[in-house]
Amino acid sequence: MTAFAVWAPAATRVDVEIAGLAYPMRPAADAPASQGWWRADVDVPPGTDYAFRLDGGEPLADPRSPWQPSGPSGPSRTYDHSAFAWTDQGWRGAPLPGAVVYETHVGTFTPEGTLDAAIGRLDYLAGLGVTAVELMPLAAFPGEHGWGYDGICLWAVHDPYGGPDALKRFVDACHSRNLAVILDVVYNHVGPGNRLASFGPYFTSAHMTPWGPAVNLDQAGSDEVRSFVVGNALMWLRDYHIDALRLDAVHALEDHRAVHVLEELAVAADAFAASAGRSIALIAESDLNDPRLIAAREAGGYGLTAQWNDDFHHAVHSAITGERQGYYGDFGSLSAIAKTLTGAYFYNGTWSSFRGRTHGRPVDALKIPAYRFVCFVQDHDQVGNRAIGDRIAATLRAAPAASSASSASSALPAPGVDGGRAEGLLRVAAGLVLTAPFTPMLFMGEEWGADTPWQFFTDHTDPGLAAAVSEGRRSEFAAHGWGRAEIPDPQDKETFLRSKLDWTQQDGDPYRSLLSWYRSLIALRRARPELTDPRLDQLRADYDEQARWLLITRGPLRVAANLGTAPAKIPVTPAGASLTLLLASTPAINPEPGTIHLPPASFAVVSGDDGSLATRGGH
> What would the mean pLDDT of 326-334 be, rounded to a whole number?
96
Q: pLDDT tens-digit profile of 178-187?
A: 999 999 999 9
Give the pLDDT confidence score for residue 33 in this predicted structure: 61
**Are residue 596 and residue 513 in the same domain, yes or no?**
no
Does some domain include residue 96?
no
Does some domain include residue 443?
yes
Cα 547 to Cα 562: distance, rounded to the nearest angstrom = 8
Residue 420: pLDDT above 60?
yes
DSSP state of 60: B
Give the pLDDT confidence score for residue 429 in this predicted structure: 98
Which of 468, 495, 522 finishes a domain? Answer: 522
Give the pLDDT confidence score for residue 481 in this predicted structure: 85
- Going by C-beta distance under 8 Å and a sequence separation of 6 or more, which residues neighbour residue 90? none
Q: Which H helix or E strand runs over 446?
A: none
Strands (E), 545-612: 549-554, 557-562, 568-571, 580-584, 595-598, 602-607
> What would the mean pLDDT of 3-22 be, rounded to a whole number?
96
Give the pLDDT confidence score for residue 612 in this predicted structure: 55
Question: pLDDT tier at 391 (50, 70, 90 boundaries)?
Answer: very high
Residue 264: pLDDT above 70?
yes
**Are residue 494 and residue 376 in the same domain, yes or no?**
yes
Going by DSSP bridges, is the β-strand pair 76-77/306-308 parallel, antiparallel, or unpaired? unpaired
What CATH number is associated with residue 149?
Answer: 3.20.20.80
Quickly count: other Cβ atoms within 10 Å of residue 496's Cβ.
Answer: 22
Give the pLDDT confidence score for residue 411 in this predicted structure: 38
Does some domain include residue 350?
yes
**Are residue 107 and residue 38 in the same domain, yes or no?**
no
Side-chain-side CA neighbours of residue 6 (13 Å): 30
Cβ proximity of 60 and 54 under 8 Å: yes
Which of 40, 60, 80 finishes a domain? Answer: 60
- Give me the sign of the Cα torsion angle 181, 438, 185, 128: negative
Rounded mean pLDDT of the chain? 93
Residue 466: pLDDT above 60?
yes
CA angle, 17 then 23 then 26, to 5°: 120
**Are residue 311 and residue 379 in the same domain, yes or no?**
yes
DSSP H helical segments within 444-510, as ranges?
A: 463-478, 493-498
> What would the mean pLDDT of 431-440 be, rounded to a whole number?
98
Structural domain containing residue 134: 101-522
DSSP H helical segments within 34-158, as ranges?
A: 106-109, 115-119, 122-128
Closest to 493 in 3D by CA, of 470, 477, 475, 474: 470
Give the pLDDT confidence score for residue 252 in this predicted structure: 96
Dihedrals phi, psi of 436, to nearest 5 degrees: -70, 160
**Are residue 292 and residue 351 in the same domain, yes or no?**
yes
How large a percentage of the chain has pLDDT more than 70? 94
Residue 294: pLDDT above 80?
yes
Does some domain include residue 532?
no
* Residues forming a β-bridge with 132: 101, 180
**Are residue 465 and residue 568 in the same domain, yes or no?**
no
CA distances from 206 to 87, 358, 517, 529 (A): 47, 27, 52, 50
Residue 425: pLDDT above 50?
yes
Cis peptide bond N-terminal to 534, omega within 30 = no
For the chain, state the CA radius of gyration.
26
DSSP state of 592: B
Residue positions annotated with a catalytic role: 248, 285
Which of 473, 494, 522 finishes a domain? Answer: 522
Give the pLDDT confidence score for residue 342 in this predicted structure: 97
DSSP state of 275: H
Q: pLDDT tens-digit profile of 113-160?
A: 999 999 999 999 999 999 999 999 999 999 999 999 999 999 999 999
**Are residue 313 and residue 356 in the same domain, yes or no?**
yes
**SS3 state at 357:** strand
What CATH number is associated with residue 53?
Answer: 2.60.40.10
Give the pLDDT confidence score for residue 189 in this predicted structure: 97
How large a percentage of the chain has pLDDT more than 90? 91
Residue 613: pLDDT above 70?
no
Give the pLDDT confidence score for residue 608 in this predicted structure: 85
**Are residue 163 and residue 134 in the same domain, yes or no?**
yes
**Are residue 514 and residue 563 in the same domain, yes or no?**
no
**Are residue 224 and residue 326 in the same domain, yes or no?**
yes
Does some domain include residue 68?
no
Question: pLDDT tier at 574 (50, 70, 90 boundaries)?
Answer: confident
Residue 173: pLDDT above 70?
yes
> What would the mean pLDDT of 450-468 be, rounded to a whole number?
96
Cα 513 to Cα 522: distance, rounded to the nearest angstrom = 15
* Residues forming a β-bridge with 17: 22, 51
Q: What is the pTM of this model?
A: 0.95
More confident residue, 34 or 537: 537
Expressed in percent and rounded to 5, the helix, strand and coil fractions of the chain are 30, 20, 45
Please give the tally of structural domains in the chain: 3
How many Å is the maximal CA-CA distance in the chain?
86
Give the pLDDT confidence score for residue 415 in this predicted structure: 41
DSSP of 479-494, one letter per residue?
A: TTT--GGGSPPTTSHH
- Going by C-beta distance under 8 Å and a sequence separation of 6 or more, which residues neighbour residue 470? 489, 490, 491
Does some domain include residue 78?
no
Does some domain include residue 503?
yes
**Are residue 252 and residue 112 in the same domain, yes or no?**
yes
Cα 554 to Cα 384: distance, rounded to the nearest angstrom = 33
Does some domain include residue 86?
no
Q: pLDDT tens-digit profile of 515-549?
A: 999 999 999 999 999 999 999 999 999 999 999 99
**Are residue 468 and residue 591 in the same domain, yes or no?**
no
What CATH number is associated with residue 599?
Answer: 2.60.40.1180
- Going by C-beta distance under 8 Å and a sequence separation of 6 or more, which residues neighbour residue 82? none
Q: pLDDT tens-digit profile of 214-247?
A: 999 999 999 999 999 999 999 999 999 999 999 9
